[in-house]
């Protein structure tokens, strides 16, 4: 399959079905005065769903998304959806940006123009990029694998072929967060000849530190181990389910838009720099557009399955020699210890950002884009 232009166009049938479901919700009975400590708050969710039913305009959001140049092509049997926006500087550097869960390709929607056309936003045109933003397999408008084993390593192989064989870039940059961090690291590990550098906002849960001999760890690593253990006990229930029984949760979330919204919204509140107030960092339209991408494509099940694949079939990660920039956002889930990162990656830039959380490019796009431009300036 050659590269083909793609236009997001959800059928009226899908939207009418959604409207029916939102008009026939069965709300659960909950304890009085419960807030977010047991999960998504019902008052907030009812408010969001009311907006979804009466004010949210998918067609307007669809039109906004279609302002970007969307494409699809088949790579090793997977139909990959991606945005490809050309840079407006004298010699744009190609960069592939990889999202995670429970966000989607719209994680990077706000920074695409900041990277492709920095001069229009007070930057240097020499810092421009050709920006490629794919949807992970089984997410959004990319198809899911029909076979097991579609883990971060496999995705990185698809990305290497997309960038070199399909798009014709022999050298390029890569960046990502959440699952996108893992994909980006495997890309650098296995194809250093193509990578000028990688930029990360996290390095996932460092599992080898969780089982390491404490006498061999630094103070920062010991602190990380304690914080990570507490986080796993109190916040990682979703991960346990999706890593072990993703198919079971898929039935409910694929059938109920309110269930899907509750599952996703809790993570946006808990992982962002919003101090418990989602309205501080995200508009309702933003949140619902991301949820809609999962709903209209019916990909919450296949996206959850990515956790199972990454838990059961990932090969070990070796030392990465490609120059690596790390930008740490203060409200992100788990901030990695610098000692561990320095031992395992070729860290050439380590920056603590002034604000922001897990959904970096959505929360603080200006500072994030500046950081990406600054890091890659050395390697152009």
Q: Which residues are catalytic?
A: 178, 307, 358
In the structure encoding, which two tokens stand for residue 53, read together?
Answer: 């039913």
In the structure encoding, which two tokens stand for residue 316, read together?
Answer: 């070990």
In the block, tokens 């139909």 appear at 79
Q: How far apart are CA 346 and CA 351, in angstroms?
A: 14
Instruction: Pick the closest to residue 8 from 82, 74, 79, 78 (CA basis).
Output: 82
* Alpha-carbon distances of 122 from 118, 152, 282, 374, rounded to whole Å: 6, 36, 24, 14
* Alpha-carbon distances of 23 from 17, 54, 257, 267, rounded to whole Å: 10, 10, 11, 25
In the structure encoding, which two tokens stand for residue 342, read together?
Answer: 């320095």
Tell me if residue 25 falls in helix, strand or coil: coil
Q: Positive or negative CA dihedral for 177, 182, 186, 189?
A: positive
Which ranges of 203-283 would DSSP assign to H, the alpha helix?
207-210, 219-235, 237-244, 246-255, 257-271
Do β-strands 129-134 and 93-98 pair in parallel, antiparallel, or remain unpaired? parallel
With 0-12 CB in 10 A as exposed, 13-18 as middle and 19+ as buried, what is 345? buried
């Amino acid at each position: 399959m050659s590269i083909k232009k793609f236009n997001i166009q959800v059928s009226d049938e899908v939207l009418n079905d959604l409207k029916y479901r939102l008009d026939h919700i069965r709300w659960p009975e909950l304890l009085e005065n419960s807030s977010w400590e047991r999960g998504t708050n019902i008052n907030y969710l009812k408010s969001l769903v009311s907006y979804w039913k009466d004010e949210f305009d998918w067609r307007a959001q669809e039109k906004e998304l279609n302002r970007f140049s969307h494409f699809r092509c088949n790579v090793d049997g997977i139909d990959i959806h991606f945005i490809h926006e050309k840079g407006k500087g004298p010699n744009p550097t190609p960069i592939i940006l990889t999202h995670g869960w429970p966000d989607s390709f719209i994680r990077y929607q706000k920074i695409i123009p900041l990277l492709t056309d920095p001069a229009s936003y007070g930057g240097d045109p020499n810092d421009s990029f050709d920006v490629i933003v794919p949807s992970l397999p089984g997410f959004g408008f990319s198809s899911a694998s029909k076979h097991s084993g579609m883990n971060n390593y496999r995705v990185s192989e698809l990305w290497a072929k997309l960038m070199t064989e399909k798009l014709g870039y022999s050298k390029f940059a890569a960046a990502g967060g959440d699952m996108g961090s893992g994909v980006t690291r495997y890309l650098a590990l296995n194809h250093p000849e193509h990578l000028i550098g990688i930029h990360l906002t996290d390095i996932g849960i460092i599992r080898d530190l969780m089982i390491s001999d404490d006498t061999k760890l630094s103070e920062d690593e010991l602190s990380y181990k304690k914080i990570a253990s507490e986080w796993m006990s109190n916040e990682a229930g979703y991960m346990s389910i999706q890593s072990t029984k993703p198919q079971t949760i898929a039935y409910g979330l694929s059938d109920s838009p309110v269930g899907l919204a509750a599952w996703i919204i809790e993570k946006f509140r808990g992982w962002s720099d919003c101090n418990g107030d989602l309205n501080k960092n995200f508009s309702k339209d933003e949140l619902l557009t991301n949820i809609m991408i999962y709903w209209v494509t019916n990909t919450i099940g296949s996206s959850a399955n990515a956790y199972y694949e990454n838990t059961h079939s990932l090969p070990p990660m070796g030392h990465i020699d490609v120059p690596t920039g790390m930008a740490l956002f203060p409200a992100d889930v788990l901030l990695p210890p610098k000692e561990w990162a320095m031992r395992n990656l070729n860290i050439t830039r380590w920056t603590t950002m002034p604000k922001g959380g897990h959904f970096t490019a959505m929360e603080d796009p200006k500072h994030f884009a500046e950081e990406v431009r600054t890091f890659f300036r050395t390697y152009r």
